[in-house]
Amino acid sequence: MDLNTACMQTLSIILAGGRGSRLKQLTDNRSKPAVPIAGKYKIIDFPLSNCVNSGMRRIAVLTQYRSHTLNQHVQRGWNFLRSDFNEFIELWPAQQQTGGDWYRGTADAVFQNLSMIDSLDSEYVLILAGDHVYKQDYSIMLKEHMESGADVSVACIEVPLGEADQFGIMHVDEEDNIIAFEEKPTNPPTMPGKPEVSLASMGIYIFNTKFLSENLRSDASDDDSSHDFGKDLIPFFVGRCKIKAHHFSHSVVKNESYPDQAYWRDVGTLSAYWESNMDLTRLVPELDLYDEAWPIRTAQYQRPAAKFNYNYEERIGTALNSVVSAGCIVSGSTVEKSILFNNVRVNSYSRVSHSVILPRCDIGRHCRLSKVVVDSDCHIPEGTIIGEDSVADAARFYRNSDGVTLVTQEMIEALN
């Protein structure tokens, strides 16, 4: 089977049902994959774009927790594929098809949809998380998988040895066969010939469909299993089947202008989310969003261009080292080292620095915000100061140990 045919015979499953509780109140009303990121996107746009750009255009998005905004986004922004060419992006909500339980783990989420998977008669199944930010050509991983004759391939990324205890770590031989797997080990194994790094699982898997189906059924009947790919199935496969490690560096989308070719981020904490957005304000970000050969797609709405008002001595509409999205108005205020999502207004005499302002926020006059994440639809009252007094910030809003303050409209209303 040639690679193009194999891509068309691959079903991509994006696991997008999780809450992402470490993002705190950002996921009170939306699932983690639906969280806005990078000015105009949602997190799920990255795996979806990777699939389409890789030529894998049969995609199922598995949803569960507070999925309305995610469903709406996928329906409005990702409905351009051709069903007459056997292409689709479908939403598969949790339906308790195999009993009364909701999804109990990542493997169980796929198991509960086995009837639909079997009906599509795919040769391969690509399993993806819906909450990571990266660019990857999955067709290269599929090519390696086919050539190796593996039953399952696991995408892996090199991480410094000092950080390896935060990941599921693969121990591989010189031919990249996975010979051991350890979840967050205290003494992690290193890569052959590279004693300073370990090989961490990215939560990206390619299975032969028949092999996956048989093992999911077996796992579902195991009462001792937590029904999770990373915790249960991948460790179980080691030594029992042909399981290969695929190096992310082989399939990462490269651009000579960007220094870090292996950009992959789990933006699962408030600090990681803030840092990932802040990266985009740098002169040369680690993540390239300007590569026309590998576009990141999203839902597009009709909005006017960003606008900057006033040029008086103390009232100049200015944005420095920042990302300002469509529909924004910076009116007699200063925005520095920040990212404004769509339809944000910053009113006169205010200053916003090192902050992430989500869509449709209105920041009143004479405000000062520093190192703040402001959730969608917030109205910041005139004269509000956040980011200068840690005690006051923690009393009014959510402030983490890294000094990032999260503000929601509910928090603001609670002050009155």
Annotated binding residue 201: yes
Give the angle subtended at the CA of 40 by the CAs of 34 and 46, to the nearest 5°.
55
Is 231 marked as a binding-site residue? Answer: no
172 and 331 in contact (C-beta within 8 Å)?
A: no
β-bridge pairing 264-266 and 168-172: unpaired
List phi, psi (to 5°) of 199.
Answer: -110, 110
Q: Give long-range contacts, CB 8 A cutoff, 24+ apart: 237-241.
A: 237/151, 237/152, 237/178, 238/178, 238/179, 238/180, 238/181, 239/179, 241/151, 241/152, 241/211
Q: How many residues does the chain have?
A: 416
C-alpha Rg value of the chain to the nearest Å: 23
d(CA 34, CA 30): 6
Give the 3-state secondary structure of residue 202. strand
Q: Scan for tokens 């200063």, then name that residue.
A: 334
| Rounded-to-integer distance, Cα 145 and Cα 125, Å | 11
* Spatial distance between the Cα atoms of 182 and 188, rounded to a whole number of angstroms: 8
State yes or no: 99 annotated in a binding site. Answer: no
Q: Is 183 annotated as a binding residue?
A: yes
What is the residue-wise DSSP string for 309-338? E-EETTEE-EEES-EE-TT-EEES-EEES-
| 139 secondary structure, DSSP code | H
Alpha helices by DSSP H, 78-199:
106-111, 114-119, 138-148
CB 172 within 8 A of CB 178: yes
**Residue 214's CB: how many other CB atoms inside 10 A?**
11
Asked if residue 337 belongs to a known ligand binding site, the reply is no
Annotated binding site for alpha-D-glucose 1-phosphate: 103, 168, 183-184, 201
Annotated binding site: 103, 168, 183-184, 201
